[in-house]
Amino acid sequence: MKERTLVLLKPDAVNRRLVGEILTRFERKGLKIVAMKMLWLTKEKAEEHYAVHKGKPFYDSLIKYITSSPIIAMVLEGESAIKVVRKIMGVTDGVEAAPGTIRGDFALSIQNNLVHGSDSVESAKREIPIFFDDSEIYDYQLSDEKWI
């Protein structure tokens, strides 16, 4: 089933110059970028995005981390996009993530784990509007879509 999912390339991905590498992995898999921008999250936007973690011991450090530097926000589209993105990212803890995944190849912690991806259709529907207006998300055809 064709889905859309939010993906964030976090401050460590931007500062370690891994944006191109990470984007390449998603595109080579066949996912389509339908929205993308660089932004510096405000504390308010970060709190809205991570509201599900409010009250947890790591919440304050998570907000401080995600607002410490610019991020890349994007919406990816494709067949089972949510599941596919989560497989490509690897498990949350970079130490436990399988080699070949983004986190398995580049992350060594739970917090500085380079990427965020929506974990369900419901999460994607809640998260995407935090970062993008409808006018910033594009419907278009790629010439290779029938092959993917």
Indicate the pTM of the whole model. 0.94
Q: Which of 4, 49, 103, 116 is catalytic?
A: 116
Enter the DSSP assignment of 98.
P
Percent of the chain with pLDDT over 70: 100
Is 116 noted as a catalytic residue in this protein? yes
- What homologous superfamily is domain 2-36+73-133 in, according to CATH? Nucleoside diphosphate kinase-like domain (3.30.70.141)
Cα separation of 142 and 33, whole Å?
10
Provide the residue ranges of all domains of the chain, joining segments of one domain with +: 2-36+73-133
Q: What is the token pair recorded at 64?
A: 């401080």
Residue pLDDT, tens place only, 16-42: 999 999 999 999 999 999 999 999 999
Rg (CA), the chain: 15
